[in-house]
Structures are given as structure tokens and as C-alpha cells.
Amino acid sequence: MAENQISIDQQIAAVEARIQKQKAIVIETEKKSNRGWTTTCQLNLSSTFKVNIQSTKEDTLRDALAQLLSLEDYSNKASKMLNLKNEFKFDGYSVSEWVSDMESRIAKIKLKSEKEKLENLQSRIESITSEDQKRQRELQKIIDDLESDD
């Protein structure tokens, strides 16, 4: 019985280490993604379709980009028909600038989802951690604190 307990504790410790490693990756990715926005993040594509990139969902971003690309395509065709130079911009920003902000938003959505998943896993692993393992972890924290004071 004791062998099983040690084995389970070791497995729990290994899973905890994986969770902590993934959390560190998420935190690092989050730091990198906290750049400023390029556009105003306000896409007013029609009187009934207004999008705030910073707070909308992925499928709304997809629909907004589809409309933006459609506008760009029609602008390019009209410019060609009229022999005009075309530098399509929407509200002063190029499509690539709008896409960049949309990609940033999608990355933030995915990071949030990943953080929630890891928090859930951490909570679940904590609920099955033995009392001895919790005591050992706390003792190790105390030792680390004492060593850092020296």
C-alpha cells in the first residue's frame, strides 16, 4: 500500500511540474502579446455592424475581416476600372494593420482559455494531493525562504 502511495505522490508531483511549466510558458507568451494596438480597434463596417476588436469573439472577428476583405476587393476593382492608384485603407489603416490587431485579440482569447484550463488542472491536482505531500511542499518553501535570507 505504501508503494502505491509513493507512486501516486510522485505522479502528482510530475503533473504539478508540467502544469507549472505550462503556466510559465503562458505567462511569458502573455508578456510578449501585451503590445500596443496598431489601429483604433473600432471597425464600423455598417450602421448595424460595429466591432470593438479588443472585446469581441473570434467568429465576429472572422466576419469583420470577411467584410473588410470584400471592401478591399471592390475598392481594388473600382480603382482598376477607373485607372486609379489604389491604396485601400479603412478608417486610415491598412488591412494588414487591422489583421494584426485581430490576430492579437485571438491570441489573447486563446491565452485566457489556456490559463483557465491550467487553473482548473491545478485545482484538481491540489484536491488529490496527500496531506504528507502538502506538508513536504510547505516545508520546502520554508527551507527555500530561509536559504534566500542567508
**Which pTM was predicted?**
0.75
Does 10 map to a domain?
A: no
Supply the pLDDT for residue 20: 92
Render the burial of 112-122: b for 16+ CB within 10 Å, e for the rest. Answer: eebeeebeebe
Does 8 map to a domain?
A: no
Supply the pLDDT for residue 22: 93
Supply the pLDDT for residue 4: 55
- Read off the pLDDT of residues 88-119 as tens digits, 9 standing for 90 and up: 999 999 999 999 999 999 999 999 999 999 99
Does 36 map to a domain?
A: yes
Does 9 map to a domain?
A: no
> Which residues does residue 90 pair with via DSSP β-bridges, in sequence order?
93
**Domain extent at residue 124:** 20-149
Does 134 map to a domain?
A: yes
pLDDT band for position 65 (50/70/90)? very high
- Give CA–CA dist 57/70, Å, rounded: 20
Average pLDDT of the segment spanning 51-67: 97
* Mean per-residue pLDDT over the chain, rounded: 90
Percent of the chain with pLDDT over 90: 65
Supply the pLDDT for residue 132: 86
Alpha helices, DSSP H, located in the chain? 2-33, 58-81, 95-127, 131-149
Is residue 84 helix, strand or coil? coil
* pLDDT for 144 beyond 70: yes
- What is the number of structural domains in the chain? 1
- Read off the pLDDT of residues 30-48 as tens digits, 9 standing for 90 and up: 887 777 899 999 999 999 9
- Give CA–CA dist 42/143, Å, rounded: 52
Does 117 map to a domain?
A: yes
Q: How many CB atoms lie within 10 A of CB 61?
A: 21
Supply the pLDDT for residue 1: 46
Residue the block writes with cell 482598376? 80
C-alpha cell at 144: 527555500
Supply the pLDDT for residue 137: 86
